[in-house]
Amino acid sequence: MLEVEFAQLSDPGRIRPRNEDYLGHIAPSSPTLVRSHGWLFVLADGVGGQRQGEVASRAAVEEVLAGFRRAKPMESHGPLLARLVQAANARICETEALAGPAGTGMSSTIVVCALRFDRATVAHVGDSRCYLIRKGKARPITSDHTVANEQFHLGILSAEEAKSASTSHVLSRSLGTNLFVRVDVKELQVQAEDALLLCSDGLHGAVSDSELAHTISPRRDLQEIAGELAASANRQDGSDNVSLHLIRVRNVERTGMYRGRPYKLN
């Protein structure tokens, strides 16, 4: 059976007076739910100034969590997460409209990870990331929705130019900007001793991928690692909120799929 352990942390950083990030998770309460629904982790980074950012990020996370709890047993995680992120987008648009002029500009990033059997499904909008840490290397699963990164993929900027460009933190896609948002969804197979990291740009904008991989050791306490990563981000930058989910896969249940239904592999 799939077994995971996790730690989560959200820190306001050294400069900002408020924390506009928001975290949430669902841990299955029985072996039946481990197989029928699995685990869910959500992180959102709000945008909007005043208090709109924290309202947007919380609304997005709460919408995804509520939708996952209502999901049918064995529902495919890919289409499910895409639908839940669309619902979070609609929730922010509705919240902004109800807030009147005070809600203008309310938006948020989001990254969602669902785990079941031996697979992780990741959905995201914006520049909050998911990393896979395996055998001492950290690999981004997501691709930032920023102007600079879009220009990199178009061949306008090199990778180094995109990292240092003034548009590297300007979002090209976010929740709440339009009534419909394009959601990127990826699925990957996970193995025992893999780690998954969901984080806001306050972490990945300050801490290098190599430092992430070095710090996230398979034998260290996860909450200790989370605190060390946040402290490093604040020491190297600290200008933004720092939030993360750190998930370690202890065991997996190897399965195949036939006509949308899982079967156990020997």
Q: Kindly state the tokens that stand for 52.
A: 């709109």
Average per-residue pLDDT for the chain: 93
**What is the length of the chain?**
266
pLDDT category, 112, cuts 50, 70, 90?
very high
With cut-offs at 50, 70 and 90, classify the pLDDT of residue 220. Answer: very high
- Asked if 38 and 116 count as a contact pair (C-beta separation under 8 A), the reply is yes
In whole angstroms, give the CA distance from residue 206 to residue 134: 21
Looking at the predicted structure, is the pLDDT value of residue 258 above 70?
A: no
| Residues 219-243: b if buried by 16+ CB within 10 A, e if exposed | eeebeebbeebbebbbeebbebbbb
Collect all residues with Cβ–Cβ distance below 8 Å to 160 and sequence separation of at least 6.
none
Q: Answer positive or negative: Cα dihedral of 222, 8, 172, 142.
A: positive
Q: Could you give phi then psi for residue 103, rounded to 5 degrees?
A: -95, 5
pLDDT of 136 higher than 90: yes
**89 sits in which H/E element:** helix 77-99
Q: Which helix (H) or strand (E) holds 250?
A: strand 242-251
- Neighbouring CB atoms inside 10 A of 249's CB total 22
Pick from 177, 207, 172, 186: nearest CA to 130: 186
More confident residue, 159 or 112: 112
Q: Which helix or strand (DSSP H or E) is residue 253 part of?
A: none
- What pTM does this model have? 0.94
Query: Would residue 62 be called left, alpha or beta, if left means φ above 0 and alpha means ψ between -120 and 50 degrees?
Result: alpha
Query: Please, are residues 4 and 250 in contact by the beta-carbon 8 Å criterion?
Result: yes
For 49-95, the pLDDT digits (tens) are 657 899 999 999 999 999 999 999 999 999 999 999 999 999 999 99
Alpha carbons 27 and 38: distance in angstroms, whole number: 8
Provide the 8-state DSSP code for 239: S
Contact 81, 112 (CB under 8 A): yes
DSSP 8-state class, residue 206: T
Q: Which of 62, 58, 60 is nearest to 19 (CA)?
A: 58
pLDDT tens, residue by residue, 142-180: 999 999 999 988 999 888 888 888 888 899 999 999 999
Instruction: Please state, in angstroms and rounded to a whole number, the distance separating the CA atoms of residues 237 and 207.
Output: 9
DSSP 235: H
